[in-house]
Amino acid sequence: MTIDRADVLVLGAGIAGCALAYHLAARRVGRVVVVDPRTTAAGATGRAAGIVTEQLWNRFDVEVTRDSKAEYASLAARHDPSAYSVNGFARWTREETAVEPVRRAVHRLRQWGVRVSEVDAEALERHVPWGRFDGVRAAILGADDAVVTPSTMAEIYAESARGSEVDFWLGVPFDPPVRDGGAWTLRVSGRSVRSPRCVLAAGAWSKRLSHALGRPLPLVPYRTQAAVLKPSAPAPLFPSVHDIDRDVYVRPESNGRILAGDGTQLVEVDPERFNSGGDPEFVEHLAQTFEERLPGWADAELVRAWAGVCVSTPDRRPLVGAVPGATGLYAMTGFNGFGVMRAGGVARRLAALLSVGDGPSSEREALEAVDPGRFPIPYPEFRPRPGFTLEAGDDPRF
């Protein structure tokens, strides 16, 4: 059997794994091998909505998303300008109980340098003339948020990394790597690769792999849904929108179409066995929301609806960094449905850590908020709690 040597082995070729390979190549850490049983972006990346917003619930998320956004803009400008657009992001509520959380979110985001404003119904009508905003009590608008084509961005990362001591082994099923003799050994189709460092970046498959590697992580895969629709009149570029009360978001899509979600189901699913089509109940919920809240799109034709699997953590923050008790094992997973927003910025930070090692360092401190060892063992049981939320104490709606 042929044995390859690598300095870093990456399990998963979604946008996170591809971005990490790109940043490892830029830092010249040595040979990198990225392995995936499917193709690039075949998992959640290829099914993601692609909204990139700084309207998030903690400073770490805002900072990494800001870095990701700048990186996507730069890469798209060089390789495929159609893959990235700045369009803004508007959210609103008619519920009195949500007014104060919206206002607190505006104040908090401004403290973190996010350019957001509280706006009224008249302003919403100017930005989204297809909507009906009577009764809106509070709304927030971010002018700098963007949309990206996730699969294209993953391909850009991969193509930019190839040839810089980065190899992609795609379409090759594999058994979990084994730690022996100071290195991780992965066997694939008659050949193997040995590396002192292995990064788990397998998205919804990370829970199963972490158990197989003997170091279970607090992860719960869950199913989410989205759909592409074709309005009777092509939709120009408009701000991505989110009706907080109905929990439906809409963003512009190519060819004048629109993409809508959120059909998230807050129960654990098996990423190998789930319904990949959109549920009739989800499609009906979209239709009712359009009829009542976005009537200008009420006659939009359903092009297709689908489902994908994301993975959650107990506190909504990802797991990024060294896995405790497992020498040479690192995690880059648990993005709670926001992997595309975070991938570039998180990959940059993890690549920096991998370039200097695990000792005390500013690179390690930069990932302290998402340290995989922050939860006590045994890990608590939890249900997924993702979404475009407005954090407000323990109320899961916000």
**Tokens matching residue 70:** 């700048």
Question: 215 pairs with which residues across the strands?
Answer: none
Question: 250 pairs with which residues across the strands?
Answer: 241, 260
**Tokens matching residue 192:** 């193997």
Q: Is the pLDDT of residue 100 over 80?
A: yes
46-64 pLDDT, tens digit per residue, is 888 999 999 988 899 999 9
Q: Burial level of 281, CB count in 10 A (0-12/13-18/19+)?
A: exposed
Strand order in the sheet with 198-200: 166-170, 32-36, 8-11, 198-200, 329-333, 319-322
Cα angle 36-39-44, degrees, rounded to a multiple of 5? 85
Residue that wins the pLDDT comparison between 361 and 209? 209
Average pLDDT on 103-107 reads: 92
Residue type at 97 in one-letter notation: T
d(CA 263, CA 249): 10
Residue-level pLDDT at 393 = 35
Residue type at 283 in one-letter notation: V
Q: Burial level of 165, CB count in 10 A (0-12/13-18/19+)?
A: middle
- pLDDT category of residue 118 using cuts at 50, 70 and 90: very high
CA distances from 148 to 34, 177, 225, 311 (A): 23, 33, 18, 20
Residue-level pLDDT at 391 = 53
Q: Is the pLDDT of residue 8 over 70?
A: yes
CA distances from 81 to 66, 86, 117, 213, 331 (A): 19, 11, 28, 40, 31
d(CA 216, CA 208): 8
Cα 393 from chain centroid (whole Å): 23
Whole-number average pLDDT of the chain: 92
- pLDDT category of residue 43 using cuts at 50, 70 and 90: confident
Q: Is the pLDDT of residue 3 over 80?
A: no
d(CA 26, CA 24): 5
What is the value of pTM for the model shown? 0.94
Residue-level pLDDT at 388 = 63
Pairing of strands 220-230, 258-261: antiparallel
Question: 195 pairs with which residues across the strands?
Answer: 184
Contact 227, 260 (CB under 8 A): yes
Residue-level pLDDT at 327 = 94
CA neighbor of 24 nearest in space, from 350, 381, 358, 397? 350
Residue-level pLDDT at 217 = 96
d(CA 50, CA 275): 21
Average pLDDT on 347-353 reads: 97
Residue-level pLDDT at 397 = 33
Q: What does residue 141 show for φ and ψ, rounded to 5 degrees?
A: -130, 125
**Tokens matching residue 188:** 């694939």
Cα angle 106-110-116, degrees, rounded to a multiple of 5? 60
304-331 pLDDT, tens digit per residue, is 999 999 999 998 899 999 999 999 999 9
Contact 258, 240 (CB under 8 A): no
Question: 8 pairs with which residues across the strands?
Answer: 32
CA neighbor of 194 nearest in space, from 22, 75, 328, 350? 328
Residue type at 43 in one-letter notation: G
- pLDDT category of residue 96 using cuts at 50, 70 and 90: very high
Plot region of 7 (φ>0 → left; ψ -120 to 50 → alpha; else → beta): alpha
d(CA 145, CA 89): 6
Q: Which domains does the chain have, with CATH numbers?
A: 2-46+151-218+315-374 (3.50.50.60)
Residue-level pLDDT at 392 = 37
125-151 pLDDT, tens digit per residue, is 999 999 999 999 999 999 999 999 999
According to DSSP, residue 210 is labeled H
- pLDDT category of residue 296 using cuts at 50, 70 and 90: very high
Residue that wins the pLDDT comparison between 113 and 377? 113
Average pLDDT on 383-392 reads: 66
Max CA-CA distance within the chain?
69
Q: Is the pLDDT of residue 174 over 50?
A: yes
Q: Is the pLDDT of residue 396 over 60?
A: no
The answer to whether the peptide bond before residue 173 is cis (omega within 30 degrees of 0) is no
Average pLDDT on 168-190 reads: 91
Residue-level pLDDT at 350 = 97
Average pLDDT on 331-357 reads: 95
